[in-house]
């Protein structure tokens, strides 16, 4: 759905101000689906409709209720909410009892995980036995094995939010592919043009990605699946998603709607060789001393100038002024000039029978 920009929508900054939310709180509210946004304009920038603001402000618990639902806390504050030690909370989070909602990398290159305060409080009500006494044996064994499910649970949460944000089949496949290494994607999707299309629809990095190279490398590793079973699951999901996308519409190929595949030369798109027009042969100079041939052997005398065009059959090179031989590597029998219009017509004729893919812009929230 595209809404015309005007009085019916407001910018995200204006919406956050009217909802009495900070910038990070508003961004998290959009990601969690608490605040619905719509694409506006040619660049599909996300804005908030005025009626959506009216709906949220009409709530009985506004603004405290909305602010509590997007409140994110760190390990120390979350442990204080559950009245346990930070070490015990970290063990529960590492074993998958709590899922982070976002992360950041501090100046010491340590990953700081954030959790929704509402989910932390709900966990305390549903699992009170894990807050006191000795932890269960299976939990202790997983802790001893240095298991850490926080990155995987964060990736699962992010993927579910991305899949919920779009109905485009290729965009949904791109969201799954964003969690896999490019090598893994290439093994599942063998068509290079389909991989290029998935790369164009790739969702943006999560908010708060660090700018420093070392910290960014750490953050990028967290956004990729690393467990073997997780990789296998996403590979199967990507294969199914691509099959569904192919059944609905094909990915745009070169020559269709001006699609361009990065990393592929134009000559590889059409299968038509682009020949450069060779220089016209220059008549040989007057007979002179013998000129040695290119291959080892006895010297071959130069040809006497003739009015006709030299034959295309292989023969000794003809010397040109300045000692520069006029030799063309064009195969025999191939036209010397391939006009742009002819190439374009042949390409259009070859693509006539293919179903053209629609290139739709995806506006990720």
* Cα→Cα distances 196→167, 222, 251, 272, Å: 20, 23, 9, 21
- Reported confidence tier of residue 340, pLDDT bands at 50, 70, 90: low
- Reported confidence tier of residue 40, pLDDT bands at 50, 70, 90: confident
Is the bond leading into 63 cis (omega within 30 degrees of zero)? yes
Q: What is the pLDDT of residues 102-115, one digit of tens each?
A: 999 988 889 999 99
Count other Cβ atoms within 10 Å, centred on residue 45.
15
Q: What is the pLDDT of residues 232-265, one digit of tens each?
A: 999 999 999 999 999 999 988 876 654 544 443 3
CA distance 224 to 212: 19
Match 């009626």 to its residue by tokens.
51
Nearest to 314 by CA among 302, 329, 325: 329
Domain boundaries, the chain: 9-69, 72-148, 152-248
* Cα→Cα distances 207→23, 28, 30, 321, 353, Å: 11, 9, 12, 65, 43
Residue 71 predicted with pLDDT over 80: yes
Q: Around 238, how many Cα atoms within 13 Å sit in the side-chain half-sphere?
A: 26
Q: Around 344, how many Cα atoms within 13 Å sit in the side-chain half-sphere?
A: 4
Q: Around 213, how many Cα atoms within 13 Å sit in the side-chain half-sphere?
A: 0
């Amino acid at each position: 759905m595209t809404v015309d920009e005007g009085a019916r929508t407001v910018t995200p900054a204006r919406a956050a101000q009217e909802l009495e939310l900070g910038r990070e709180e508003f961004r998290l509210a959009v990601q969690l689906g608490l605040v619905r946004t719509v694409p506006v304009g040619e660049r599909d920038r996300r804005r908030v409709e005025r009626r959506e603001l009216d709906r949220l402000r009409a709530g009985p618990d506004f603004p405290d209720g909305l602010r509590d639902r997007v409140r994110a806390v760190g390990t120390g504050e979350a442990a204080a909410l559950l009245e346990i030690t930070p070490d015990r909370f970290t063990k529960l989070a590492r074993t998958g009892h709590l899922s982070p909602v976002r992360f950041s990398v501090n100046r010491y290159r340590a990953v700081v995980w954030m959790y929704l305060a509402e989910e932390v409080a709900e966990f305390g009500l549903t699992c009170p036995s894990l807050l006191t006494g000795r932890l269960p044996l299976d939990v202790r064994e997983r802790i001893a094995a240095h298991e850490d499910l926080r990155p995987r649970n964060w990736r699962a949460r992010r993927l579910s939010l991305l899949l919920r944000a779009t109905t485009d089949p290729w965009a949904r496949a791109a969201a799954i592919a964003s969690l896999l290494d490019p090598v893994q994607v290439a093994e599942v999707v063998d068509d290079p043009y389909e991989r290029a299309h998935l790369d164009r629809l790739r969702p943006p990095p999560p908010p708060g990605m660090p700018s420093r190279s070392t910290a960014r490398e750490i953050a990028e590793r967290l956004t990729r699946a690393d467990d073997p079973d997780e990789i296998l699951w996403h590979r199967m999901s990507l294969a199914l998603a691509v099959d569904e996308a192919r059944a609905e519409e094909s990915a745009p190929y070169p020559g269709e709607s001006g699609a361009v595949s990065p990393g592929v030369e134009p000559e590889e798109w059409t299968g038509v060789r682009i020949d450069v027009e060779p220089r016209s042969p220059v008549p040989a100079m007057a007979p002179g001393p013998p000129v040695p041939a290119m291959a080892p052997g006895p010297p071959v005398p130069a040809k006497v100038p003739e009015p006709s065009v030299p034959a295309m059959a292989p023969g000794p090179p003809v010397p040109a002024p300045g000692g520069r031989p006029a030799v063309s590597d064009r195969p025999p029998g191939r036209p010397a000039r391939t006009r742009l219009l002819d190439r374009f017509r042949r390409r259009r004729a070859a693509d006539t029978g293919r179903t053209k893919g629609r290139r739709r812009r995806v506006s990720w929230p």
